[in-house]
Homo-oligomer: A and B are copies of this chain.
């Protein structure tokens, strides 16, 4: 398969549905709807919703089945970026080469736009659940799982520990906690959602969970490496920002070479987890391999 073509097609589909489901900029009060759209359409790679779709396809479902739930996960991802960039958090002026939400709309609207995207994600998840054919107990359980994944003992917990670990001494347990929660939890939820909405059985869901675990870790390690070795134009933010903020990263703990080996090992394990799906998991497999080659 041509991975770049696959990613481009899915990205276009996701963007068109995000455009359809988000209130227009002219919706009153305009400022918040402009801010929500500004950040959602600030050039994201749509990796999480693409993973939702690819996971659904591996389980015999289609992109059309899961597109709304997939978009909801992208809205959650966008909300976390808006709040992470705030002055009180990482205080970033740029994200993907564009001014961050609070630099354009002010802090108050940025906080509220993040709140609104999180809230809207649950609205879309509830609506998508009402529309799909899987029984509603399973949908409710998945909403519960997503909320748990992005809550105070999931994604938000990861952000808390990340903030509190700045300028502290390095510790493997803390680093693993941060990335398991700050990054991998939402990947896992996105991948699981694809399986759930496509009606996956227990064995399939377990395989997807393994894939997500290994993939999420490899993604974070390569992210840390890119912060050191990457091209700031391609990444869209200044390189070396982790070091500047004294962030705990894989390269700072293990060195660059060992970090690269760890990323490769995890990608291999992620791919092995897909065995039961056969060729249906080709997209998930290619997405994993591409992680090692990415430059942004």
* A contact residues vs B (CB 8 Å cutoff): 23, 27-29, 31-33, 36, 79, 83, 86, 88-89, 106-109, 111-116, 118-120, 122-123, 126-127, 129-130, 136-137, 139-141, 143-144, 147-148, 150-153, 156-157, 159-161, 163-164, 177
Q: Determine which of B88, B109, B122 lies in contact with A107 in the assembled complex, contact meaning CB atoms within 8 Å.
A: B88
In the complex where A140-B136, A143-B126 touch, is A120 in contact with B163 (Cβ < 8 A)?
no
Q: Which residues of B contact A113 (CB under 8 A)?
A: 152
Cα distance A88–B82 in the bound complex, in angstroms: 14
Q: Determine which of B79, B140, B151, B156 lies in contact with A129 in the assembled complex, contact meaning CB atoms within 8 Å.
A: B140
Are A150's CB and B88's CB within 8 A? Answer: no
Q: Determine which of B33, B36, B89, B153 lies in contact with A23 in the assembled complex, contact meaning CB atoms within 8 Å.
A: B153
When all copies of this chain in the complex are counted, the total is: 2
Task: Give the secondary structure class of A's interface.
Answer: helix
Are B116's CB and A115's CB within 8 A? Answer: no
CB distance from A287 to the nearest CB of B (A): 27
